[in-house]
Structure formats: structure tokens, C-alpha cells
Amino acid sequence: MIPLFLCFASLALQGCVTPGDGPQPNRVSTGQEIELGQQMAAEVEKEEKRLNNPAIQKYVSEIGQRIAKQADRQDVPYAFTVIDNPETINAFALPGGQMYIYTGLMKMCENEAQLASVMAHEIGHVAAYHHGEMITRQMNAELVQSILVGRSKSELGKITGQLMGAGVAMWFSRGQENESDTLGMEYLFRAGYKPEAMVDFMNKLAKYEQEKGGGGPQPRVLKLFASHPATTERIAHLEALLAKYPIELRNQNQNHFDRYKTNVLDQIK
Ligand SMILES: [Zn+2]
């Protein structure tokens, strides 16, 4: 198997960099980011099937907008689409704020707050300009421009595939993942959800990884968070973050078990 976390083979014009923490340069404008995201969304929708259930699409969209309203970045059109794929545990945001959520992930969540926690993490990547930073790191301005004007269709397909799949490890650095967890928990909390839902979901994921991932072939389905840092390391970070939120404030927030069961778990099998 070809290691996917080499730089994009043909895109690595600036060499393979493993960025450390701290702010990184971003030379992608918001307009370019949105345009690139729209082109990538078209690629995603060639590969994946939208869930044909308007009620669920609306429900998930409302969760997303509730969180997006709390984000530090408001100059991108946040949008949320559920993909009909119960075998794939995944969710990802494209540059410019469009997000895709797989039914496989939704089945794994026990309540609305857990789903919201994953979505909040993804919104964190968008809000902190991680896509622009990554593109700046991996591509020169000419290549970005040639993709935008449709002269590099194959490159567009390649980077979209990377973002959708296991190549996510090379999209975001450890520092960016930690930053998204920090921002995500804050947005989750401000949107009225219990921030511990983020820890609960990561624990669930760690357990699943252990059960399904030990020994035999790695589950192809588990694309979500197929990145550094390791799940256990992230749980430790999330638990430390959680301590910032006083218990009496957390207790006023919700998990929404019933609403999630009625709207999602009873509907998708
Ligand atoms: Zn992430």
C-alpha cells in the first residue's frame, strides 16, 4: 500500500513539511477558499450519495448552523450535507465551510451532542483557516490558480480524495487538530451542548478502534480522525480542556438523547 501521508506526490512543490504548533502562513484568500470548496464539493458528490431524507438533512443542518453561529469566522457559507453510507464513520469540512457527515458516523453517536461535537471540531478547522494554511504549505500560488480556473482537474480530484479519505493525516498537523479540539469544545459549549460529549465520543471511538482495529486489517471505514495525534492523546487533551468549564454551567447544557433517537437513530438503520 502506498503511504498516503507522503505529500501529494505531484503537488509537493514546496517539499514535505511537518509543521509544528503555532500560526502558519495562509496565502489563500477567502474567495479562493470558497471557490475551491465548491469545486471539491462537486467532486465529493460524484463519489458519494446524498441521503434522500429531507427531514434528517434539515435536522443535521440546524445542528450545524447552531454551532457555526458561535464560530470565530463568519465570512464563509457554512453548509451541511448527510451522505448515505452507513459503513463509513466519517465527517469532514471542505475549504470554505461545506461539511459532509456520513450516516455511519451518525449511527455511532448516542445523542445529538456527540454528533455536534464532531461537527464543532470540523467547524474549528474552517474557523482557524486550517485549509488555507495547508494549501499554502502544499501548493504554490500558480497551482492553486490553475485548479481554480479548471486547468488541473486531476489535481482537484486528488486533493478531494485525500480530504475525504485516509489521507487526512497529511492535511492537518497535530497543532491544528489540537486547535480544532479547543475551538470545537468552545463552540459546542456556547451552542448549548454539554462539552463532555466531545470526550464521550472520543472514548467511544477509541473503544471501537481497539475492538475493530487490533490485529487484522485496519477497518477501511474508520476514516474519521485517521490522523495524528492518536485518539488517546486527544482524549487527554480534551479532558484537560473540559476542566475549564465549571460543572454548574455544563449542567445547564444538553445532550439531547430523545431528540436524537427520534430524528436519527429510529430513522437510519
Ligand atoms: Zn480534525
Spell out the residues 6+ positions from residue 248 whose beta carbon is closer than 8 angstroms to its own: none
Blockwise average pLDDT, block size 10, the chain, 269 residues? 31 37 82 93 93 98 98 98 92 94 95 98 96 87 86 84 66 88 98 97 86 55 59 91 96 97 94
Report CA-CA distances (Å) from 159 to 11, 74, 167.
9, 25, 9
What is the CA(239)–ligand 1 centre distance, in A? 17
- At residue 153, the pLDDT reads 84
What is the CA(177)–ligand 1 centre distance, in A? 5
What is the CA(116)–ligand 1 centre distance, in A? 14
Contact 41, 94 (CB under 8 A): yes
- At residue 17, the pLDDT reads 39
What is the CA(182)–ligand 1 centre distance, in A? 11
What is the CA(199)–ligand 1 centre distance, in A? 14
What is the CA(172)–ligand 1 centre distance, in A? 7
